[in-house]
Amino acid sequence: MANEIKKTVKDVRDAIKEGAHKGNADIERENRSEYGDVMTPGEKAGSMAREATEETKAGIDHAKRKVRDAT
């Protein structure tokens, strides 16, 4: 019983973090689409890198939940 509660708490925490990371990635994408014309190439590259980083973090949190559910 205690293990199930711990598992649920970890799943909820990872789901919240995944959502936050996806939201941050969406914000970066929206910033580029809105301000892309006035951004320097370096700013665009940085924004793309931040978006990719946030998507990767979201994927890791999602994978952690999947692995935890499989065991």
Q: Please give the pLDDT value at position 21.
A: 98
- Work out the average pLDDT over 4-26: 96
What separation in angstroms does the CA of 22 have from each of 5, 8, 26? 26, 21, 6
Q: What is the pTM of this model?
A: 0.85
Which residue type sits at 58? A
Selection from 25, 11, 7, 5 nearest residue 61 by Cα: 11
Selection from 45, 60, 50 nearest residue 25 by Cα: 50
Q: What is the pLDDT of residues 20-71, one digit of tens each?
A: 999 999 999 999 999 999 999 999 999 999 999 999 999 999 999 999 988 7
The domains of the chain are located at: 2-70
* pLDDT above 90 for 1: no
Q: Give the torsion sign (CA, 58, 60, 63, 64).
A: negative
